[in-house]
């Protein structure tokens, strides 16, 4: 009787682990698609490729559908398995992370829509080199955030959190440069306004990458680091 109970318990535990791994895999698949959408959107704007931009906009529906599907899977796990401790933190972190990924998808779609508008008015204003710099930084943040999630790496997550201030600085520089360019080239005002919209979207993407890393720290260490200074966070985790 005890042997049968042990076997049944082992089966449930193995199925539970399989469920967790499956939903984690789906979240990372969503992350991979979001990364591609972001890269394609930035390329579409810089290259003024309205066709690629249109594909990014259309692809946003798939990201929305993935969020809904993964959220349902997580809710089923909570209802059926009643996870505790680290397992519960993993499920909750996934629920929160997919919301940020969905919003990154939304911001990528905004960049793509800006690309379509720019294509209607002419070429991308080549004088705005800071746009490319900021684009590289936010892409790297998203990639590092997902990598930290894959590896359950709180230290790597904190490095991404600290990178957000650099993105904010780059964003401010890019905004000033873009406004200056607009003043010097009045004929480009319409195109520049679309670029300003895209810059704002990139800054928000950096914020969402930071949020994902905060979820990673919570998942790994059980510590909520939102609204705390980075120095205080490091002290708390080291203690």
Each domain of the chain, given as residue ranges in start order, spans 2-238
Q: What is the pLDDT along the chain (239 residues), one digit of tens a residue?
A: 444 434 434 445 788 889 999 999 999 999 999 999 999 999 999 999 999 999 999 999 999 999 999 999 999 999 998 998 899 999 999 999 999 999 999 999 999 999 999 888 877 766 567 888 899 999 999 999 999 999 999 999 999 999 999 999 999 988 888 888 888 888 778 888 888 999 999 999 999 999 999 999 999 998 888 766 655 556 555 55
Fold classification of 2-238 is Methane Monooxygenase Hydroxylase; Chain G, domain 1 (1.20.58)
Show the 3-state SS of 28-77: HHHHHHHHHHHHHHHHHHHCCCHHHHHHHHHHHHHHHHHHHHHHHHHHHH
């Amino acid at each position: 009787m005890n042997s049968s109970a042990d076997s049944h318990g082992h089966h449930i535990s193995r199925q539970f682990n399989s469920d967790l791994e499956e939903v984690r895999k789906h979240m990372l698949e969503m992350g991979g698609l979001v990364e591609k959408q972001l890269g394609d959107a930035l390329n579409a704007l810089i290259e003024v490729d309205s066709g690629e931009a249109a594909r990014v906009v259309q692809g946003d529906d798939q990201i929305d559908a993935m969020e809904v599907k993964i959220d349902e899977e997580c809710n089923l796990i909570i209802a059926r398995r009643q996870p505790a401790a680290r397992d519960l933190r993993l499920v909750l972190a996934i629920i929160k992370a997919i919301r940020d990924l969905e919003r990154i998808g939304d911001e990528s779609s905004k960049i793509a829509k800006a690309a379509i508008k720019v294509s209607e008015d002419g070429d991308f204003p080549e004088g705005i080199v800071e746009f490319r710099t900021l684009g590289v930084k936010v892409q790297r943040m998203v990639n590092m955030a997902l990598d930290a999630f894959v590896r359950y790496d709180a230290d790597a997550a904190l490095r991404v959190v600290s990178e957000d201030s650099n993105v904010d600085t780059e964003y401010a520089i890019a905004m000033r440069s873009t406004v200056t360019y607009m003043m010097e080239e009045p004929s480009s005002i319409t195109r520049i306004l679309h670029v300003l919209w895209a810059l704002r979207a990139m800054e928000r993407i950096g914020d969402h990458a930071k949020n994902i890393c905060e979820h990673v720290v919570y998942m790994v260490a059980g510590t909520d680091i939102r609204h705390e200074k980075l120095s205080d966070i490091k002290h708390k985790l080291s203690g």
